[in-house]
Amino acid sequence: MADICERSNISAEGVSAFLELLKRSMEPFSKRFSVNENGVTRYYAVERRGIGILKTEHGKFWQYNFAIDDQWEKYSVMVKAELNKDLLVPVFKNKDQLVLRTDSGCETSQVFGDLTCECRDQLHLALKAIEEVGEGMLINIPRQDGRGMGLTFKLATLWIQDVLGVNTVESASLLAPGGVIDIRTYSGVICILKFFGIPTTCRINLATNNPKKADVFAENGYTVADYIPVVIEPNEHTKLHLQAKQDHLGHKGLIKKGDKNESE
């Protein structure tokens, strides 16, 4: 203990108190919230399961591990902020506005580096934007692969794209039951805002190219005041993918006119 105290410049009493705090942070802590989405109101159990510090290439962030009793279950929340006196809840200096990114998980790109998708680059660009602002939050939903259709579905669509040369929307439509290719929900994002005590008076600066992600905020009394583009320059691997998302899914600003001509 003496060696630890010397290296950390913290007293033995301080180290003991810190370890007790860490033990509390590892204990599940639950709350329940009601959320409206697509005209339906439902109560959710929200459980914080842990918190720690990540030193990323974009700066230092707190990572929270959450579980919510919806179809996605796991939520990983990256937070740039000071913490409260108990060191368990973020306290944002700007009470009026919050930079927020809702980030759907994409194992193929974010973990394994698939070149046909820009999700990994979007994740890092969003973290960089939050670091530049000085505070904000990114909520990653790991199990929303393939726009919520699942990793098995996503892998099959990538195989189709490689063999048939079709885009992401066409490949998904060939396999999706009833032609529905996006089943993601975002009630869990509202749950986390409520868990952290973010009031509806706090205006959201939403880091996204997909305006449809704003709907759930409006349904729950939050205002999306601005959109922060998370646009990755298209390349030979992503042009077809980005063009399809812009043309068929309503994403904004992904392909400029010059880029479009090159991809056609």
List the catalytic residues. Answer: 182, 184
Q: Are 166 and 160 in contact (CB under 8 A)?
A: yes
CA dist 165 → 155, 206, 240 (Å):
15, 33, 9
